[in-house]
């Protein structure tokens, strides 16, 4: 399970040693925050694969890790079985066009991207957990009272 770290400038996907070996990546994957155009949650990440596997590991229905090459674009993929995942579309990134990751923290990522975060990288779960709760201003609902008989 990948760890997602976010700061004001970038999103970092922290890979475990096993994930690094499976994906043929020596370092964590980092993308500039301003290149993220869309984040989508999905229950079946396998439907989002496009192209052919590049360097990495591919066991159909079990594991897809590494780069996937499609017509003119490269995606970074880390999918395990049929678990909740997140699809991150990028525009202007030097390495990737899309990130497809199996993670339980997809909802926290979408929420954290909407918040102002510190300059130090923090786990998206921590960012959302420590964020102040928004207070609605002036939202008064009409009070419905029963009429006298």
Is it the case that residue 113 has pLDDT exceeding 80?
Answer: yes
pTM: 0.81
In sequence order, which residues have a C-beta less than 8 Å from that of residue 116 and are 6 or more positions away? 8
pLDDT digits (tens, 9 = 90+) for 84-108: 999 999 999 999 999 999 988 888 8
How far apart CA 127 and CA 104 sit, in angstroms, is 15
pLDDT average, residue stretch 42-46: 92
Is it the case that residue 135 has pLDDT exceeding 70?
Answer: no
pLDDT average, residue stretch 49-72: 92
What was the pLDDT predicted at 24?
94
DSSP state of 92: S
79 to each of 41, 60, 94, 132, 143, how far by Cα in Å? 13, 10, 22, 32, 50
| Lowest mean pLDDT, pick from 37-41, 63-67, 79-83, 120-124 | 120-124
Of 106, 113, 120, 2, the closest CA to residue 44 belongs to 106
What was the pLDDT predicted at 138?
55
């Amino acid at each position: 399970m990948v760890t997602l770290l976010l700061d004001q400038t970038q999103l970092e996907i922290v890979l475990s040693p096993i994930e690094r070996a499976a994906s043929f990546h020596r370092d964590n994957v980092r993308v500039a925050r301003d290149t993220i155009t869309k984040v989508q949650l999905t229950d079946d990440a396998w439907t989002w694969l496009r192209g052919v596997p590049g360097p990495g590991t591919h066991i159909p229905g079990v594991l897809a890790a590494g780069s996937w090459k499609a017509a003119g674009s490269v995606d970074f993929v880390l999918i395990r079985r049929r678990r909740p995942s997140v699809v991150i579309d990028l525009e202007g990134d030097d390495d990737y066009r899309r990130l497809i990751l199996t993670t339980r923290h997809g909802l926290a990522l979408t929420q954290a991207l909407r918040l102002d975060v510190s300059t130090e990288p923090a786990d998206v779960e921590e960012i959302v957990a420590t964020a102040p709760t928004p207070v609605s201003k002036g939202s008064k609902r009409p009070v419905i009272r029963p009429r006298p008989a």
